[in-house]
Structure 1
Amino acid sequence: YLEAVKYARNQLRRDKGLPLSVRLFNGTHKRLMTGTRGQNKQPGKVRRSQNWIGGTRPGNARFVPPPPHRITDLLGDLENYLNSEGILPPLIRAGLAHAQFETIHPYLDGNGRLGRLLIALCIEEWGLLTEPLLYLSLFFKRHRDEYYTRLSAIRTGGDWEGWLAYFLEGVAVVSEESVGMIRSLFDVLTRDRSHYLESGNVTVVGARLFENLPRNPLVTVKSVVKICRTSSPTAAKAIDSLCTVGILEETSGRSRDRVYAYREYLDLLRQGTEL
């Protein structure tokens, strides 16, 4: 997932990179599906066969997306919409784009994952945020039945207003939760920084490593060598110093190539993701 996000953001940022487009979708989808459920279902390629959602066949499915011969034109329309000068506010456009992408359902698997990522990419690309901090996945999971009901109401009755009301409620809820999460993470970092610097175990490389833990909450001696540009013995000593004060914790249980986690920081990030 992180590789897919990195790829998409790099493409959108580069002067000669891809815009929000089918080619960007394909490249992101290929990376998103690598090593995950559905990796054998033509990752990075628009489907050439009929798919459906729910049921055992199109005849008893909850929803049957458009047939494969229409996908190219429908994705072309969506691409044009994403790159046009819209008169609607960006949040509304992001909600409309997500619903349209999920309705087209252009891949054999992974449409939900890519469709949710599309929201974050639109919000960043259209200037509402400078980082992909707003992910609605958890809100959609918490209210899964309403999510499908609202999308279905668009397809059967054209109820775009109902979908957008639900979508914007999700944006508001997740925004408030994200602010609270950021504050909690900041408090943990501030407390642990003081605790480490005031301990008798602090090292120069350990202090440097601590400042990099928010971006690298899982580390190995090898990764610390690269992050801190130091030697393996010095990296190991830095990790040991952070373990001694309870900031890092060994999680692999191995005697070699051990993995160390900033457990409390990761636990905060994982809150609610078990849904």
Structure 2
Amino acid sequence: MAHRETFNRPDEPYNDLPALPPLGDLETKAILKAAIDAHVALAELRSAAKTLPDDGILVRAIALQEARISSEIEMVVTTNDELYRALSQQEEFTDPQTKEVLRYGDAIWLGYGHLRKGSAMDVPLLQRLASVILKFDLKIRESRGTRVGDPRTGRVVYTPPIGCERITAMLENLLEYWHTESTVDPLVRLCVIHYQFEAIHPFPDANGRVGRVLNILFLVSQGLLDKPILYLSRAIIEDKSGYYKGLRKVTEYGDWETWVLYMLENLSVTAIETRRRIEAIHHELEAAIDYAEASMRTGYSEELIRLVFSQPYTRISFLERAGIAKRQTASLYLQELERIGILQGEKRGREMYYLNRRLFEILGL
């Protein structure tokens, strides 16, 4: 594979970051083979996702795993329990770390809604994504001061370009590459786009999280996924050294092959893991429907069981909003599901939360 001139001056801003498309061969034999495997895994995931019992809440719960793990990379830590309970309660009862993770989820859905309306990706949307995550208006960097360091040693390993005008032009070039039809495999283009965005590093903060949101949105924009359910951050956090090594090899040696193969392998593995998780949810739902029908003394309906599988925590008000039952009867139905072991009740303040333990475990794998 052709290499460009080495850039290995970590203390200097990379103002000469090459524009897209990259030079050199992006589709070596090894890359094409890995891309085929990734396409197969994504197609199987896309098919499995059609069985999800809820197109909104459960898909959101799965997407929140991406939000939690992606935020953990940035040292914003919360637990699955806090995260899923936050879906079920009012914002004032949610801790700050969980709120920040939820905002990452909001950014995913903002971008997804933008694409669903047929709108094109543009620089203002990138700014909105970053602003939603951090909950204040974030502008493109104007001056120097942003550097990427090795978290273990604190040593500077990369300094991104500086200057709002220069950075904006680089982002516009990236988005032109995003939108332009190409003979290059879209999964390979995804790898290129992710590298380029991280190399531009356009904002003072949230660049990693915005870049990982763009991964999901690009897959949706190319028709490779219908729903934002593939979360690559787990693979990154499990092999941070491989991730940063791949990025640096592109920067320092123009070595795209190492980087693209790393990303394609993680795409395949993550798609397979996510498909298995979805299949497990579907299996548990069908088993719960049969078991509840045979075991409940009162209140059984398939609609009720599907509702308690729409997210890990259920409250009485959920049944009321769904028109299944009024408050007192809804409480009895949930207690009945607790009696037969499908749900586990827990009182928080004056409110009862009913945990679907098995769904919680599957989502938290």
TM-score, normalised with respect to structure 1: 0.85
Deviations 1:56-95 (A, max 9, x none): 9xx9412211113321111111111111112211111111
- 8 Å contact from structure 1 (residues 217, 262) kept in 2: yes
Deviations 1:145-167 (A, max 9, x none): 01000001111111111100111
- 1:132 equivalent to 2:235? Answer no
Partner of 2:156: 61
Partner of 1:39: none
- 1:76 equivalent to 2:167? Answer no
**Change in CA separation of 1:175 and 1:237 when aligned onto 2, cut-off 3 Å:** same
- 1:258 equivalent to 2:352? Answer yes
1:81-100 mapped onto 2 (5 Å cutoff): 81-100=177-196
Shift of 1:229: 5.8
- 8 Å contact from structure 1 (residues 208, 228) kept in 2: no
Partner of 1:37: none
- 8 Å contact from structure 2 (residues 304, 324) kept in 1: no
Bigger CA drift: 256-265 or 140-149? Answer: 256-265
Cα distance in 1, alignment partners of residues 308 and 167 from structure 2: 43
Partner of 2:211: 115
**Change in CA separation of 1:46 and 1:224 when aligned onto 2, cut-off 3 Å:** farther
- 8 Å contact from structure 1 (residues 201, 244) kept in 2: no
Deviations 1:201-232 (A, max 9, x none): 3414x642321234332222223322346422
Cα distance in 2, alignment partners of residues 258 and 107 from structure 1: 42
Partner of 1:218: 313
Cα distance in 1, alignment partners of residues 247 and 363 from structure 2: 29
Bigger CA drift: 72-81 or 178-187? Answer: 178-187
Give 5+ residue unaligned stretches, structure 2.
1-103
Give 5+ residue unaligned stretches, structure 1.
35-41
Partner of 2:3: none
The one-letter code sitting in structure 2 at the alignment partner of 1:76 is E
Partner of 2:141: 47
Partner of 1:153: 249
Shift of 1:122: 0.6
Cα distance in 2, alignment partners of residues 167 and 5 from structure 1: 20
Partner of 1:169: 265
Shift of 1:32: 2.5
Cα distance in 1, alignment partners of residues 329 and 303 from structure 2: 12
Cα distance in 2, alignment partners of residues 200 and 211 from structure 1: 15
Shift of 1:28: 2.2
Cα distance in 2, alignment partners of residues 46 and 229 from structure 1: 49
The one-letter code sitting in structure 1 at the alignment partner of 2:125 is L
- 1:249 equivalent to 2:350? Answer no
Partner of 1:267: 361
**Change in CA separation of 1:193 and 1:157 when aligned onto 2, cut-off 3 Å:** same
- 8 Å contact from structure 2 (residues 123, 168) kept in 1: no
1:177-196 mapped onto 2 (5 Å cutoff): 177-196=273-292
Cα distance in 2, alignment partners of residues 47 and 241 from structure 1: 56
SS in 2 for 1:32: helix
- 1:23 equivalent to 2:118? Answer no
SS in 2 for 1:260: strand
SS in 2 for 1:62: strand
Aligned length: 258
Cα distance in 1, alignment partners of residues 198 and 313 from structure 2: 34
- 8 Å contact from structure 2 (residues 112, 228) kept in 1: no
- 8 Å contact from structure 1 (residues 28, 44) kept in 2: no
- 8 Å contact from structure 2 (residues 246, 258) kept in 1: yes
